[in-house]
Structure 1
């Protein structure tokens, strides 16, 4: 169902009662069409949802939900729903993934990727990264015969649906379907997790003081857990350190003083001569540094604003104290 293109003057009467009746009809038709699309979800898609629920439940890392445009907006809501129901989850903007945020995708994570067409070009780097690192991909798309569909370890293809918008073009029915499927996945995973009402209250602490007062010093990584390299360290060794620590970043230090950080994005930007360089050659100088007494909630918000996955913790003399990763913040939010 879609409202055929026409001018409002042609479609609506000048009579207020008739105009109200026409608008009421549009609302009913749109709601009915979207409800029918959900009810008519193919059996294969429902079976794929069951397989996706198992994969997400069995994963040890946070669920990463990704998309762009309208699919991105839906993806944010889906990630939020999973967090509410007990599964740590984060939204990864597909375009930002190509500029340093791939560090959010860790071994043990499952990546849920949304694209109605299944041909969104901005998804290519993320999908390639997942394949190269054996990260499970769940594809949510309208087209079973698409690049995204073939890239998925599990593919939920809801079919080519009619958008209810006036011109049959704007994402409406397709986004409603994606959101409903996301809700179903979250409910399924929470059921396997055995999420109880008291758990839901824990994930929504409201006035719960303890969770609100967590500070960076309570969660930061220290000592041997830190991915430390010297300024003259060859990039071949830096890559090994980053892989061992699995934080998507290396801290360049000289006698405990912070010189910069090397991220996945820095390496990609210097890929042509990467193996002929040292940590100092490609490191980002003046990284984001936070205080040990900063609230974790404020630190997480800062990371989100800056589009980064980790913050260096230092004292007033710029001496390294630790590192706080966004995954630590998410895990604390899910378990506190």
Structure 2
């Protein structure tokens, strides 16, 4: 495929409005326009070579080794990170360090994705013979189809651009954007081909908000065992109050002799009882004041479901039960906040 014309460096000019609000806005818009045109051109080059690159990456039995020097190295690092988080194991290899021992990290089952706008990066060209001897598949992503890297590679992806957004035509701007977008295109195509799901994504992002929402279960954050507030049905309201105060969850489960849930007594129920002068907390059984059909949740349900229930029914806590309504645990809104679910 013929590369787009090489960028011609232009003489930097200093418009009269440079540095002014209008000048800064115009400069920013010009950069975006230049890069948008480059991406439109890049889209037309997504064809058979792109599909073949995807097939090679899908067939990889090892990892994808992304490499590049300078700004291309930064883009290669980002592409490796995107691959790894979307189901394609990858890592970045600095080509300069590769010649001094780091090449030992590359196994013969790995596919190498090498980035260079010029296609003439000596640090990469130095390690290509070793990669070839080892039998690695080499995919080159360059801005020149006639470059040495493009010719040595098993497959070449053309990411050439007509011009850099830099007015000097020197700083990698449009070219790095094109390479990054091509990397994103590969990662997403592979993601879809693998049937990669949101839950798969969450497993590699356990500390992220999505990971917490899709992976964290009630059993991971609930209070269990002796930390669960519970009283028997014949306990007085004052005894229930003592249990609530001791366990600090703002509620207590009311259970039968087999630890099955009969109801829940909350601090809201307590306030309503205090407003009724006819109620003697020491003499009144908690079973007379408890909510008999409380909202509950299972231990293996997602923590985000607890947050949804609390928000929907305007409650601050839930009792965790098994299929036979035996009490397993309890949690409140503060537990969800500490787990950063809400």
TM-score by length of 1: 0.57
Question: For residue 153 of structure 2, what is the aligned residue in structure 1?
Answer: 152
Is the CA contact (8 Å cut-off) linking 1:63 and 1:112 kept in structure 2? yes
Closer/same/farther in 2, CA of residues 66 and 6 from structure 1, 3 Å limit: closer
Aligned equivalents of 2:33, 2:51: Cα separation in 1: 26
Closer/same/farther in 2, CA of residues 57 and 191 from structure 1, 3 Å limit: same
SS at match of 1:40: helix
Structure 2 residue corresponding to 1:11, chosen from 15, 34, 38: 15
Aligned equivalents of 1:26, 1:46: Cα separation in 2: 33
Closer/same/farther in 2, CA of residues 195 and 48 from structure 1, 3 Å limit: same
Shift of 1:159: 2.6
1:105 maps to 2:106: yes
Note the 1:85-100 alignment, pairs <5 A: 85-100=86-101
Question: For residue 191 of structure 1, what is the aligned residue in structure 2?
Answer: 192
Question: For residue 77 of structure 1, what is the aligned residue in structure 2?
Answer: 78
Aligned equivalents of 1:13, 1:44: Cα separation in 2: 38
Shift of 1:13: 3.2
More helix by share: 1
SS at match of 1:187: helix
Structure 2 unmatched ranges of 5 or more? 1-6, 216-342
Shift of 1:126: 2.1
Q: Cα RMSD (Å) of the superposition?
A: 2.4
Shift of 1:154: 0.9
Question: For residue 66 of structure 2, what is the aligned residue in structure 1?
Answer: 65
Aligned equivalents of 1:62, 1:100: Cα separation in 2: 18
Task: Give CA-to-partner distance per residue, 1:40-93, whole Å, 9 cap, x none.
Answer: 127455331211111111101011000010000000000000011011100000
Is the CA contact (8 Å cut-off) linking 1:115 and 1:140 kept in structure 2? yes
Note the 1:106-255 alignment, pairs <5 A: 106-206=107-207
Question: For residue 55 of structure 2, what is the aligned residue in structure 1?
Answer: 54
Aligned equivalents of 2:43, 2:154: Cα separation in 1: 19
Task: Give CA-to-partner distance per residue, 1:114-159, whole Å, 9 cap, x none.
Answer: 0000011111232111211111000000000010001111100123
TM-score by length of 2: 0.56
SS at match of 2:199: helix
Is the CA contact (8 Å cut-off) linking 1:109 and 1:136 kept in structure 2? yes
Aligned equivalents of 1:191, 1:96: Cα separation in 2: 34
Is the CA contact (8 Å cut-off) linking 1:143 and 1:160 kept in structure 2? no
Aligned equivalents of 1:6, 1:53: Cα separation in 2: 40
Aligned equivalents of 2:60, 2:45: Cα separation in 1: 23
SS at match of 1:169: coil
Shift of 1:2: 8.8
Is the CA contact (8 Å cut-off) linking 1:67 and 1:93 kept in structure 2? yes
Aligned equivalents of 1:173, 1:160: Cα separation in 2: 7
Closer/same/farther in 2, CA of residues 121 and 3 from structure 1, 3 Å limit: closer
Is the CA contact (8 Å cut-off) linking 1:42 and 1:158 kept in structure 2? no
Is the CA contact (8 Å cut-off) linking 1:45 and 1:157 kept in structure 2? no
Q: Which has the higher contact order (CA 8 A, sep 6+)?
A: 1
Is the CA contact (8 Å cut-off) linking 2:64 and 2:88 kept in structure 1? yes
SS at match of 1:11: coil
Is the CA contact (8 Å cut-off) linking 1:2 and 1:164 kept in structure 2? no
Is the CA contact (8 Å cut-off) linking 2:161 and 2:174 kept in structure 1? no
Instruction: Give the count of matched residue pairs.
Output: 205
Task: Give CA-to-partner distance per residue, 1:88-110, whole Å, 9 cap, x none.
Answer: 10000010110001111112110
